[in-house]
Structures are given as structure tokens and as C-alpha cells.
Chain A
């Protein structure tokens, strides 16, 4: 590290960095190579393991590419792997997750965007205080609030149902999303808001016809944030739903960590990959927006 810094200081000034093989470059790139291996290798190993048959896994090396590519493990993970008595594979968890994901994402973004708008443009007495509580709430460990929420949900008859989980996701998505929207709406020029006001638009009119249409990027950021967050959730899924509604992550854990039966590592890895595919796709497709989303919470607490 020290050496790279030392040398490149002078070399950065050169006319055109033509000679790629300088000492500092070698060190820089070899460090990066090691780093990249650490980050990329697990994905590679997952993929090759999932494409091998069990006999090959037993005799072979986990780094070796499959001698004979087979999708049997993928098929089994998706459609026939067992969790307890149910042998439908991960497909069931997948559909459960989709059913949880869609209403939770829509609902949480709708509620949080309106809240963010209300406190950004319609400040009222106490609005800042509620917002501060909300932000501090984001740091409270979920474990502290989980049980009273079970009671609350039971009282309103939503415990163990899909909508109960949707509500929980909406609640815990609220701090970060509200912050995101509030910051965005605050950054818009105030003249816009005033002009709409003069033209007679009310609370909802301004939001729906003026602000929301020009806030597409921030809605995209929120969407990415929520889809990955809700899809990856394990804790709320396991606590607030019944076994037949378990999301994919919970079912995945049950399949892989089942105590009975022979361990089928290729099926496990295929199942793990299947669960990871949705957020990975979002990540690789969205690129910069994903980074913006995760940085949004970091920029200002």
C-alpha cells in the first residue's frame, strides 16, 4: 500500500500513462487481483457446485469446473426439494416472496413518499420532532419491537397473515424511505411548489400532478432499495407468517440446514443461487441507482 502511494505520486504527472508495467502499477493491480478473487470466487464456486453431480463433488475439488454439466440440482432445488412434509422445492417460497414483495413495496413507498412530502413541504408544529423520532427509530434493534408488534397485529387480526407482514415491512421501511423522499422534495426549487399553490392546487394536487411526475429517479431508488430489502428479509418472514407462507429466504434456510437426510451440496448451492438471483439481477441491471439507494441513508443521518 505504502509503495503504491509513494511511486504513483510522481508517475501520475506523466504525459500519458503509456507504460502500464511500472512498479506501482504491478502492486496496485496485484492487490486488486487478490481483492477481486475474495469477492468474486464465492459466486463462481456456487455456480460450479450447483452444476455438478454429487459423485463429482465428493471426489473433486470445489474450484474445478464441472466435468459434466447437469441442471438436475437446479431442477430439484426449484421443484422437488423438501422442507418438512412439503416437497415442492423453492418454487413455493418464490411465489410467497413475490406475493409479499409486491404489496409491501407499493405500500411502503406510497406511505413514505406522502410522509416525506408532508414534512418537506407542509411543515406543521411537531413535524420535525416526529421525523427525528422516526430516524432514531431506525437504529433501534428490531428485537426490541418485535414482540409488542406481534400483540398489536394479533389485536387487529393480522398476525400470521400476509397483510400483517406487509404492514411490518411498511413500518420498518419508513425511516429510510421517508428520509429519502424528504431530502429529495426539500431539494426541489420552492418556486415550483408556490406556483402550484397560486394556481389553486391543494395537498394532493401538488403531490400527484407536480411533484411525483418529476420525482421518477427517487422513486426508482426507493423501489430498488425496497425490492432488495424485502426480498432479503428473513427475520420478519419467520416471525410474522405461518410456515405455508414463508418467504423464499426462510424456506431456503430450512432446506439447506435440514438435519435429516443426506446433504446434497449441489442442490443447496442451486437453491442459494435461486434465492440470490432476484436481488443480484436488480443490482446488475440498476447499477448506479443501487449505489445511490444505499448511499442515500449514509449521506446524512
Chain B
């Protein structure tokens, strides 16, 4: 690897040429395209990108648009619930599966299969299950509970929870797998010591195992969070933003503005806001993860 050649630039030239696609993607797409969008979010772009600088006008208009306000509000509700539910369900299921039970593989296969399905498929399945005339609501009513009402997809107040149910169904199995890997990485000795000391199992989990699994939880959280911000196809398929605009999300707002309403400036401003929210989550995490070199 350390062959001495006169010019450092030409050393291992083949390797550098082979890495060119990666360099191009990193620089042109991830850095270049991102900066491009951020720059043009300050311009007056409508149907086509324009160079006319308007400062923060697009952002001002964005935050005064009710569709965007609803989208952000939905994302916050969805995001918080999704994080809590995924972590709780994922960890609980992992802990249950870690009890050396029989059929572990079968059970894991059943819990994880939704993760192989696309968001479009997931959205359409739950659209059908939550159909007020045929789905879950109807079945409970037919059982005799006539006044039962659970119609999230047509109720603007709770529609985002309808999307949430589908998202949890699709994604929690994945978090379970991550958690299970974390649980399996815990030294048996810890369990033995806890048992010898007569600490009840649930206390061992809450006070010893969970604190030990902090890095796993952080990783899971980052994975969930980066998934949440991207939610688009699920909403597109399940509710298409409806009823009205009550289940809009930022990712959908961006696409609608760019490719439906031909309002590029709004699309750029909205996507820059998305980027900003990712940065808010990612930078502290990267700092924690890579800042201390212990597990770099």
C-alpha cells in the first residue's frame, strides 16, 4: 500500500479512478445538490428556478401557509408517537423474544414481514382495514356495539393516528430486531449477578439492561427519526393528505409544490426546513457518537 512514487497524486491511480463515482456522488449530489436547493430557496423561483434573490420571503410565505402548518404539526405528533411506540414496542417484543421461548424464529418472521413491504402497500392495506363501511369499525358494530366509532381515515382530527397505526405495523419489527441484537450482546454474567442478588427481572431490565443499551437506543432513535422525516409514500397511498389537507406531511408538501403546483421556491424552502430539522437531530448525535473516540 505504501509504494513510494514520485508524485503523491498519481499513487494508486487505479484506486482513485475506481473511487470516482463515490466521490462524484458525495460531492455533486450530497453536497452540490443540497447547497443548490438551499441557495434557490432564497430566490423567487416559480415554474423554473430563477436567480432573483428575495431573501427570506419564501420562508415567510411557507410558515404562513396553513397546509405547511398542518404538515409540521402532523409530523410532530406523528414523530413523537412513532418514536415512543417504536421504542416501547420494539424493546418489549425483543425482551419477550429473549426469554428463550419456543418458535422464536417463527414469531420473529411474523413480526418482521411488514418491514419487507413497501409503504404504498402498507398504506393501501390499512386503508382497507380502517374502511368505515367494511373494516374494523363495521366489524365491531356488527358484534353488537352499535355506537362504536373508529374512523380515523375520514376524521380530520385523528387521521394522523390512522397513518401512525400503519407506520408502527410496518416499522416496529425492525426496531425489535435492532433491540434483540442489543439484548443478545449483553453479557450473561450480568443476568447471573442480578439473579444471585435476587433482583426481580423487570427491575434488572429497567435499571441495568436499558441503561447499558443506551447506544442501541440512540441508534434506534436515529433510524426511526430519519425514517419519520421521509414519510411520503405512506400518506400518499393511505390518505393522499386527506380528508382535505388534514394528513399532509412536509415531504408531501415539497413534492406537491415542486411537481404539482409548479411553485419551486416553496418546495425549496420547505425542503430546506426538512434538512434543518434533520441537522438538529443529526449533529448532536454525531457529536456524541464520534466526538468521544472510545468506540470510533
Q: Interface digits, B262-283 against A, CB 8 Å rule (1 contact, 0 not)? A: 0010011011101100100010
What B residues does A2 contact at CB under 8 A?
202
How many Å from the CB of B12 to the closest CB on chain A? 5
B56 at the interface (CB under 8 A from A): no
Q: In the complex, A272→B118 CA distance in Å? A: 10
How many Å from the CB of A205 to the closest CB on chain B? 10
Q: In the complex, A301→B33 CA distance in Å? A: 23
Asked whether A234 lies within 8 Å of B19 as measured between CB atoms, the reply is no
Q: Interface digits, A147-168 against B, CB 8 Å rule (1 contact, 0 not)? A: 1110110000000000000000
Known A122-B1, A149-B33; judge A46-B125 contact (CB<8 A).
yes
Which A residues between 259 and 301 are near B, CB-CB below 8 angstroms? 265, 268-269, 272, 275-276, 279-280, 282-284, 287, 290-291, 294-295, 297-299, 301
Nearest B residue to A202 via CB reads: B14
Q: In the complex, A39→B169 CA distance in Å? A: 7
Q: Interface digits, A122-155 against B, CB 8 Å rule (1 contact, 0 not)? A: 1111010011011011111111111111011000
Asked whether B32 lies within 8 Å of A148 as measured between CB atoms, the reply is yes
Asked whether A134 lies within 8 Å of B26 as measured between CB atoms, the reply is yes
Q: In the complex, A4→B182 CA distance in Å? A: 21
Q: Interface digits, A1-15 against B, CB 8 Å rule (1 contact, 0 not)? A: 110111011001100
What A residues does B251 contact at CB under 8 A?
141, 143
Nearest A residue to B125 via CB reads: A42
A63 at the interface (CB under 8 A from B): yes
Of B59-67, B76-84, B93-101, B145-153, the one touching chain A: B93-101
Asked whether B232 lies within 8 Å of A235 as measured between CB atoms, the reply is yes
Asked whether B18 lies within 8 Å of A203 as measured between CB atoms, the reply is yes
Q: Is the interface of A mostly helix, strand, loop or mixed?
A: helix
Asked whether A133 lies within 8 Å of B31 as measured between CB atoms, the reply is yes
Q: Count A/B pairs, Cβ under 8 Å.
A: 278
What B residues does A218 contact at CB under 8 A?
none
Known A139-B282, A276-B121, A295-B178; judge A119-B32 contact (CB<8 A).
no
Asked whether B113 lies within 8 Å of A234 as measured between CB atoms, the reply is no
Give the most central of A12, A151, A291: most B CB within 10 Å: A291
Q: In the complex, A62→B134 CA distance in Å? A: 7
How many Å from the CB of B174 to the closest CB on chain A? 6
What A residues does B99 contact at CB under 8 A?
4, 8, 12, 28
How many Å from the CB of B18 to the closest CB on chain A? 5
Q: In the complex, A141→B274 CA distance in Å? A: 7
Known A39-B114, A40-B110; judge A5-B173 contact (CB<8 A).
no
B34 at the interface (CB under 8 A from A): yes
B15 at the interface (CB under 8 A from A): yes
Q: Interface digits, B29-58 against A, CB 8 Å rule (1 contact, 0 not)? A: 111111011100000000001000000000
Please pick, from B28, B114, B124, B230, the residue contacting A141 in the complex, using a CB distance under 8 A: B230
Which B residues between 98 and 129 are near A, CB-CB below 8 angstroms? 99-101, 107-121, 124-129
Asked whether B113 lies within 8 Å of A9 as measured between CB atoms, the reply is no
Count of B interface residues, CB-CB < 8 Å = 101
What B residues does A139 contact at CB under 8 A?
226, 278, 282
Asked whether B128 lies within 8 Å of A45 as measured between CB atoms, the reply is yes
What B residues does A62 contact at CB under 8 A?
128-129, 134-135, 138-139
What A residues does B289 contact at CB under 8 A?
301
Asked whether A149 lies within 8 Å of B124 as measured between CB atoms, the reply is no
A101 at the interface (CB under 8 A from B): no
Asked whether A142 lies within 8 Å of B230 as measured between CB atoms, the reply is yes
Asked whether B278 lies within 8 Å of A57 as measured between CB atoms, the reply is no
Of A30-38, A68-76, A79-87, the one touching chain B: A30-38
Please pick, from A43, A124, A149, A232, the residue contacting B29 in the complex, using a CB distance under 8 A: A149
A104 at the interface (CB under 8 A from B): no
What A residues does B22 contact at CB under 8 A?
111-112, 115, 118-119, 130-131, 134, 174, 178
Q: In the complex, A228→B23 CA distance in Å? A: 26
Asked whether B37 lies within 8 Å of A133 as measured between CB atoms, the reply is no
Please pick, from A39, A202, A253, A256, the residue contacting B173 in the complex, using a CB distance under 8 A: A39
A257 at the interface (CB under 8 A from B): yes
What B residues does A136 contact at CB under 8 A?
30, 282, 286
How many Å from the CB of A222 to the closest CB on chain B? 15
Q: Interface digits, A43-62 against B, CB 8 Å rule (1 contact, 0 not)? A: 10110010000000110011
Known A136-B282, A139-B278, A290-B116; judge A144-B1 contact (CB<8 A).
no
Q: In the complex, A138→B30 CA distance in Å? A: 8
Asked whether A145 lies within 8 Å of B30 as measured between CB atoms, the reply is yes
How many Å from the CB of A72 to the closest CB on chain B? 18
How many Å from the CB of A40 to the closest CB on chain B? 5
19 more A-B residue pairs beyond the given contacts A42-B114, A62-B129, with a C-beta to C-beta distance below 8 A: A5-B204, A114-B19, A115-B19, A130-B26, A138-B226, A139-B278, A142-B230, A143-B232, A143-B250, A145-B33, A152-B33, A249-B121, A275-B120, A276-B121, A283-B112, A284-B109, A290-B112, A291-B177, A294-B174
Task: Pick 23 A–B contacts, CB within 8 A, sort by A.
Answer: A9-B200, A36-B111, A39-B110, A45-B125, A46-B128, A62-B129, A62-B135, A63-B139, A119-B19, A131-B22, A137-B31, A140-B278, A143-B251, A144-B38, A144-B272, A151-B49, A152-B33, A171-B29, A228-B116, A252-B120, A253-B120, A253-B236, A298-B220
